[in-house]
A and B are shown apart, each in its own frame.
Chain A
Amino acid sequence: MPWVIAIMVALTVIAAAGGLAMHNLAMEAKNELSGGATVQIVEPSPTERNRQAEAAEILLAQHPAVASLRRVPDAELDRLLEPWLGAGTDGESIPVPALIDLRLRTEATEAELDSMRRLVSAEAPAARIDAQSSWLKPVFSAITSLQWLAIALVVLLGLTSAAAVWLASRSALGANRNTIEVVHLLGGTDSQIARIFQRSIALDATLGGTVGLLLGVGAVMMLGNQFSGLDSGMIAGGGLAGADWLVLAAIPLAGVVIAILTARLTVMTALRRML
């Protein structure tokens, strides 16, 4: 009985940790990207491109929604594109747009972007302004689906765990049916008898829950180390915060509560059938 609980708690802890990490990742990415916009100056002539970029920079710096902005240096762009276009792109043969990275004070709404577009359209007609989040829409929806998947998994595992705990405490009580009846006939009250079993099952469940929590958290920390070893910009946001660990710690607690309630319900039901 403690082992059933240990295994189910461990699995639920791992699934919950996955779900929480996914959620954190999505939230962090969203925060990072939703307040960002990108200005592209698509203009074949390098001098004209440069002029328009500088003009847009000056104009946008005065826009109330813009917190900060940064012209992405051409050298950096070259380096970013090198894997695709090959080294030594000189900006003449293949026109690479100039890029300005905008940090906004608020979310990048279409209204804000439109007012920026109007602001720069005269001086820099080649400028295209887009919210960064729009580029990453597919990534967001993928993360969101994964998050739902994790939630569904946690719910399913939680239900399975509850059922396993329920069955385990029921079979433990079935073996003690005779004892229940004897104590009943000796004048034990229903809640007296229920308490005896609640106590012993609470002990079992606490033991199982603790072992399960340790196993689950151990596995989560191992996985966490593996992911941080990957050092990928995308995964960096997917860690667990303090509150998340509390959620994980609450899982075995829920297991103990379910076990106790099951014990009580089962004993009470068995007793109701006796005079």
Chain B
Amino acid sequence: MKNVETEVVTFNNVGLRYGTDREVLSDVSFTLYPGSFYFLTGASGAGKTSLLKLLYLAQRPSRGMISMFGTDVITLPRARLPAFRRRLGVVFQDFRLVPHLSAFDNVALPLRVSGVREADLRKPVADMLEWVGLSHRADAQPATLSGGEQQRVAIARAVIARPDMLVADEPTGNVDPEMALKLLRLFEALNRLGTTVVVATHDVHLLRKVPESLIMRLDKGRLSDPTGALRYPPRREIMPRDDDGIEF
């Protein structure tokens, strides 16, 4: 195990197969550093979602080693995983909003899971909903929201607890370019506060919108690294910028 401070996640020769099929991920090795912004790209079916599932601890790899926040999570007892999951924010490709909970309650869920008192979560949740432009839909059930609105609720839920790492699977797939940019700025703001961000997307235009981002490419389950990000740990200043006025 290397230095705890300087690594968020390390994959070492990770392979994944579903059932007895061929491997959908092979020989995947990389390290993610704190405060960095990563894009994960690749054709549809290349294995982006599969890799993210390993990242947000929904899936065990078939082989290889994964450590997170300096701890080997493969051999970790099951009971200790929730504590790790609470340090992550996840935007699922299919949103996964809880159907019978309002937008407000969906966004509040990570805080409630962590035991935040009701009085202390009202304002942050309301502010977050306002930021994603859904204040007026706070009481709406997910089924009554449009695809883009659901996606924004999912994003608000992923960032509300200020995670150490944000994992987002096609987070801008259902919104117009203007909203996509706005959401990206939300991720950047979080990133500047120290959160490691991993965004999976096949939208190449998005990559250019975050100049300091690092790019990982998946091709048929194998990782390549066009910006050299994975080989040479980037050192970036975490500069507080206040231009979009997000408060966390």
Task: Let me know if B99 and A187 touch, CB within 8 A.
Answer: no
**A186 at the binding interface (Cβ < 8 Å):** yes
Task: Let me know if A187 and B110 touch, CB within 8 A.
Answer: yes
| Contact A186 to B110, CB < 8 A, known contacts A178-B99, A179-B98 | yes
Task: Let me know if A186 and B113 touch, CB within 8 A.
Answer: yes
CB distance from A262 to the nearest CB of B (A): 20
User: In the bound complex, what is the Cα–Cα distance between A190 and B82 (angstroms)?
Assistant: 9
Give which listed residue, A179, A183, A185, A274, contacts B90 with CB less than 8 A.
Answer: A185
**At the interface with chain A, which of B1-9, B20-28, B55-63, B182-190?**
B55-63
CB distance from A30 to the nearest CB of B (A): 57
Give which listed residue, A178, A181, A185, A190, contacts B56 with CB less than 8 A.
Answer: A185
Name B78-122 residues within 8 Å CB distance of A: 78-79, 81-86, 88, 90, 96-100, 109-110, 113-114
Residues of chain B contacted by A179 (CB below 8 angstroms): 98-100
Count how many chain B residues have C-beta atoms less than 8 Å from C-beta atoms of the other chain: 25
Which of chain B's residues has its CB closest to A192's CB?
B113
User: In the bound complex, what is the Cα–Cα distance between A219 and B200 (angstroms)?
Assistant: 64
Residues of chain A contacted by B113 (CB below 8 angstroms): 183, 186-188, 192
Task: Let me know if A186 and B99 touch, CB within 8 A.
Answer: no
Task: Let me know if B110 and A182 touch, CB within 8 A.
Answer: no
User: In the bound complex, what is the Cα–Cα distance between A89 and B213 (angstroms)?
Assistant: 119
Which of chain A's residues has its CB closest to B113's CB?
A188
User: In the bound complex, what is the Cα–Cα distance between A119 and B21 (angstroms)?
Assistant: 97
Residues of chain A contacted by B110 (CB below 8 angstroms): 186-187
User: In the bound complex, what is the Cα–Cα distance between A182 and B100 (angstroms)?
Assistant: 13
Residues of chain A contacted by B83 (CB below 8 angstroms): 187
Give which listed residue, A187, A190, A274, contacts B86 with CB less than 8 A.
Answer: A187
CB distance from B128 to the nearest CB of A (A): 15
Which of chain A's residues has its CB closest to B158's CB?
A186
| Contact A187 to B114, CB < 8 A, known contacts A275-B57, A275-B60, A275-B78 | yes
Task: Let me know if A185 and B58 touch, CB within 8 A.
Answer: yes
**A189 at the binding interface (Cβ < 8 Å):** yes
Task: Let me know if A182 and B96 touch, CB within 8 A.
Answer: yes
User: In the bound complex, what is the Cα–Cα distance between A80 and B128 (angstroms)?
Assistant: 92
Name A221-275 residues within 8 Å CB distance of B: 274-275
User: In the bound complex, what is the Cα–Cα distance between A186 and B161 (angstroms)?
Assistant: 11
CB distance from A271 to the nearest CB of B (A): 9
Residues of chain B contacted by A187 (CB below 8 angstroms): 82-86, 88, 110, 113-114
Residues of chain A contacted by B85 (CB below 8 angstroms): 185-187
CB distance from B50 to the nearest CB of A (A): 14
Name A181-227 residues within 8 Å CB distance of B: 181-183, 185-190, 192
Task: Let me know if B82 and A188 touch, CB within 8 A.
Answer: yes
CB distance from A99 to the nearest CB of B (A): 76
| Contact A275 to B109, CB < 8 A, known contacts A178-B99, A182-B96 | no
Residues of chain B contacted by A181 (CB below 8 angstroms): 96
User: In the bound complex, what is the Cα–Cα distance between A275 and B73 (angstroms)?
Assistant: 11
User: In the bound complex, what is the Cα–Cα distance between A182 and B57 (angstroms)?
Assistant: 12
User: In the bound complex, what is the Cα–Cα distance between A179 and B101 (angstroms)?
Assistant: 10
Chain B 61-83 interface mask (CB, 8 Å, partner A; 1/0): 00000000000000000110111
Residues of chain A contacted by B59 (CB below 8 angstroms): 275
User: In the bound complex, what is the Cα–Cα distance between A183 and B82 (angstroms)?
Assistant: 10
CB distance from B66 to the nearest CB of A (A): 12
Residues of chain B contacted by A192 (CB below 8 angstroms): 113
Give which listed residue, A178, A182, A189, contacts B82 with CB less than 8 A.
Answer: A189
B56, B58, B82, B97 interface centre (most CB from chain A within 10 Å): B82
Residues of chain A contacted by B100 (CB below 8 angstroms): 179
Task: Let me know if A178 and B81 touch, CB within 8 A.
Answer: no
User: In the bound complex, what is the Cα–Cα distance between A181 and B98 (angstroms)?
Assistant: 10
User: In the bound complex, what is the Cα–Cα distance between A73 and B221 (angstroms)?
Assistant: 107
A181, A188, A274 interface centre (most CB from chain B within 10 Å): A188
Name A119-167 residues within 8 Å CB distance of B: none
Task: Let me know if A182 and B56 touch, CB within 8 A.
Answer: no
User: In the bound complex, what is the Cα–Cα distance between A190 and B113 (angstroms)?
Assistant: 11
CB distance from A136 to the nearest CB of B (A): 63
A185, A186, A275 interface centre (most CB from chain B within 10 Å): A186
Residues of B at the A interface (CB closer than 8 Å) are: 56-60, 78-79, 81-86, 88, 90, 96-100, 109-110, 113-114, 157
| 5 A–B contacts, CB within 8 A, in A order | A182-B97, A183-B109, A187-B85, A187-B113, A275-B60
Give 5 new A-B contacts, CB below 8 A, not counting A183-B98, A187-B83, A274-B58.
A179-B99, A182-B109, A183-B109, A187-B85, A275-B78
Nearest 4 A/B pairs, CB to CB: A187-B86, A187-B85, A187-B82, A189-B82
